[in-house]
C-alpha cells in the first residue's frame, strides 16, 4: 500500500519523507488555507521534496475553467496530479486532462457509481471519503470494498485512494480490503507506530536495564 500525506505543511511532510513513509502528497483548499502559503509556491516546494504524485486541487466549478486551472497546476512540476471534484463538470475536466497525459485525482467520492464513472472518465486516482461517510452512520469501508470489486471485475487501472482517514484502524482496514493508497494527516501516520503494550514493554526493559548498572557506550 502506498502512503500519501494529506498536508501542505512542509516540515511535517519532510519528516515523514526522510523515514520513507511518503509515496505522495494530497492537498486541498482547506489545507492550503491552513498552511498560509500561496498554492503555486507551496505545491512547487512539495513537488521538489517528494518523488511521488502531489495532488493540487482546482477551485473552479465549470469544466472549462477547471481545465484551464488544471493545466496551470500541471505546469508546476511533472509529478503534479490535478485534483477535480466528482461532479459532471469535474468528469468532463478529468476526461480532457487525462487525455492530455496528466494525472487526475477525482475527489469527494461517496458512492460506487461515482467511482465507476470516474474510472471511465480516465481518473488516475479515485478518492472515496471514509471518515465523512462514517460521520453520517454509513460504512466507509463498505464503499472501499465495493469499488475494489467493481474495478477488479473490469480491469480498471484507476487507483483507489482512501481519503478522509481519521484513525489508525482506517489504515489497516483499507489495506485489508485492497485500497491502493491511503492519504492521511501526518499525526495519523505517526500513530501507526504506537501501541500501549509497546510502551509498557519498553518501560519494563528500561527499568530492568537501569538495575544492571551497565552502559553500552
Burial 63-73 (b: 16+ CB within 10 A, else e): beebbebbeeb
- Which DSSP string do the residues of the chain spell out, in sequence order? -EEEEE---HHHHHHHHHTT--SEEE--HHHHHHHTS-HHHHHHHHHHH-SS-EEEE---SSHHHHHHHHHHHHTS-TTEEEEEESSHHHHHHHHHHHHTT-EEEEEEE-SHHHHHHHHHTT-SEEEEBHHHHHHTT--HHHHHHHHHHHHHHHT--PEEEEB---SHHHHHHHHHHT-SEEEE-HHHHHHTT--HHHHHHHHHHHHHHHHHT----
Catalytic annotation, pick one of 2, 44, 83, 95: 83
92 given a catalytic annotation: no
CA distances from 195 to 89, 104, 106, 186, 208 (A): 44, 36, 34, 17, 20
- Measure the CA angle with vertex 133, ends 132 and 135; round to 5°: 65
Residue positions annotated with a catalytic role: 83
Amino acid at each position: 500500500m502506498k502512503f500519501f500525506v494529506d498536508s501542505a505543511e512542509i516540515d511535517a511532510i519532510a519528516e515523514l519523507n526522510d523515514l520513507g513513509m511518503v509515496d505522495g502528497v494530497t492537498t486541498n483548499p482547506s489545507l492550503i488555507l491552513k498552511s498560509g502559503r500561496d498554492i503555486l509556491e507551496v505545491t512547487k516546494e512539495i513537488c521538489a521534496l517528494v518523488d511521488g504524485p502531489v495532488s493540487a486541487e482546482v477551485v473552479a466549478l465549470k469544466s472549462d475553467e477547471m481545465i484551464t486551472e488544471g493545466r496551470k497546476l500541471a505546469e508546476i512540476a511533472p509529478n503534479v496530479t490535478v485534483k477535480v471534484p466528482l461532479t459532471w463538470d469535474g468528469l468532463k475536466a478529468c476526461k480532457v486532462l487525462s487525455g492530455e497525459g496528466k494525472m487526475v485525482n477525482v475527489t469527494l467520492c461517496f458512492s460506487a457509481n461515482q467511482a465507476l464513472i470516474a474510472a471511465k472518465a480516465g481518473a488516475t486516482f479515485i478518492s472515496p471519503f471514509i471518515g465523512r461517510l462514517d460521520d453520517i452512520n454509513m460504512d466507509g469501508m463498505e464503499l472501499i470494498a465495493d469499488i475494489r470489486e467493481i474495478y477488479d471485475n473490469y480491469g480498471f487501472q484507476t487507483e483507489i485512494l482512501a481519503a478522509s482517514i481519521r484513525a489508525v484502524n482506517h489504515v489497516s482496514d483499507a489495506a485489508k480490503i485492497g485500497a491502493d493508497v491511503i492519504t492521511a494527516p501526518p499525526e495519523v501516520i505517526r500513530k501507526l507506530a504506537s501501541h500501549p503494550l509497546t510502551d509498557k514493554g519498553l518501560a519494563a526493559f528500561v527499568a530492568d536495564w537501569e538495575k544492571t548498572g551497565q552502559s553500552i557506550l
